[in-house]
A and B are shown apart, each in its own frame.
Chain A
């Protein structure tokens, strides 16, 4: 039996298991996405209950017996993030994509740290769109799908003034090579590569490109969290 003590995790989602327990889906600092069994966590007076909420880093202690991980204890160890309003919905969107795409028990702490940083920025309530685009790109990168933004499929640098067609798995092509995928101006690809979303057109076009790519990689599975955005269509 192995025991992991006081390890940083973020809850992604929980669902009921048997009468009083919970299955906890979490992103852990060093072990990637994991599932934990939280026995008795649904009892009204359970001490675990209040802590097993998403978007707040906690320290967890669990035991590993073969494939089953049992959660023993959680402790509060980070400042209160209190994601609100649209930031909260962005958080759900990120968690849903992680649950859909990231395989269990394999991930780097680079991605954990990135996720942690994303939530901190979300809690500051600025520029959700660019944070979501960055998140989508990093998640695809974590999964091993490289989204090439600084060169076309032949390895030539992107020309900011030219139109390209971006196709999943292939990358950007000039129209005389291929017209599959999403039509996009070179400047947008360069801005995305530099994580610069200050231009309105970059925001708009990057959203279209990422929507296309996320649809491709989720197998056209609906991302339910998107329905919660009312203010504008993300």
Chain B
């Protein structure tokens, strides 16, 4: 096989879930069926690296020093919601129920995968939380054990800053019936039940 083609296949293998077989298929597809699409893809990737940086305020990808969302005066800058990934931000925006700011960790603490506080640049989050406008930090990491550990770590990390710290609620999915709920969710819902009187 040509070395150039081999390099392309090797490069495609960096995508998650792509092994040698799919990489070979993708390479032939790009070269043979869709050369324009392939050129666009190559350019977009190069462009992203040239122009995209991280927002100083929320750590999301953006082309300016501070992203549009963070520089929007209509947002409530007294609450900061800490999330794992940019896709989580899109989910919260879809709720139309949160108007504060975000901080994106770009992952979660997962010591068994070698991801500790340094790999997630937790010191940048600490610096961000120092902002005196911020009164409340909402921790919205996933409800996996790694997400919970990340939440514990952040709580310890920022506790000397004297902010209100909250964790998003968990429990039964909205509109769900107990009969059809998975046992784990139900076990946790009864054990972490909320007082209502």
Contact = CB atoms under 8 A, between A and B. Distances in A.
Q: How large is the interface on A (under 10, 10 to 19, 20 to 34, 35 or more residues)?
A: 35 or more
Interface residues of B, number: 30
Given A18-B19, A56-B184, A80-B191, A225 B148 contact: no
A89 B149 contact: yes
Say what secondary structure dominates the interface of chain A.
mixed
Nearest to B146: A92
Nearest to B112: A13
B157 interface: yes
A29 interface: no
Interface in B168-193: 182-185, 187-188, 190-192
Interface string A191-224: 0000000000000000000000000000000011
Contacts of A13: 112-113
Contact of A80 (B16, B153, B187): B187
Interface string A74-118: 011001101111101101110110010000000000000000000
Interface stretch (B31-39, B69-77, B84-92, B114-122): B114-122
Say what secondary structure dominates the interface of chain B.
helix
- The listed residue with most B CB atoms (<10 A of its CB), out of A12, A76, A99, is A76
A67 to B, nearest CB: 19
B184 A19 contact: no
Contact of B111 (A47, A53, A75, A224): A224
A55 interface: yes
A53 B149 contact: no
Contact of B148 (A50, A76, A88, A227): A88
A225 B117 CA distance: 10
Contacts of A223: 111
Given A51-B184, A89-B152, A92-B111, 12 more contacts: A18-B17, A55-B145, A80-B188, A85-B152, A85-B155, A96-B111, A224-B112, A227-B116, A228-B117, A228-B153, A230-B153, A230-B156
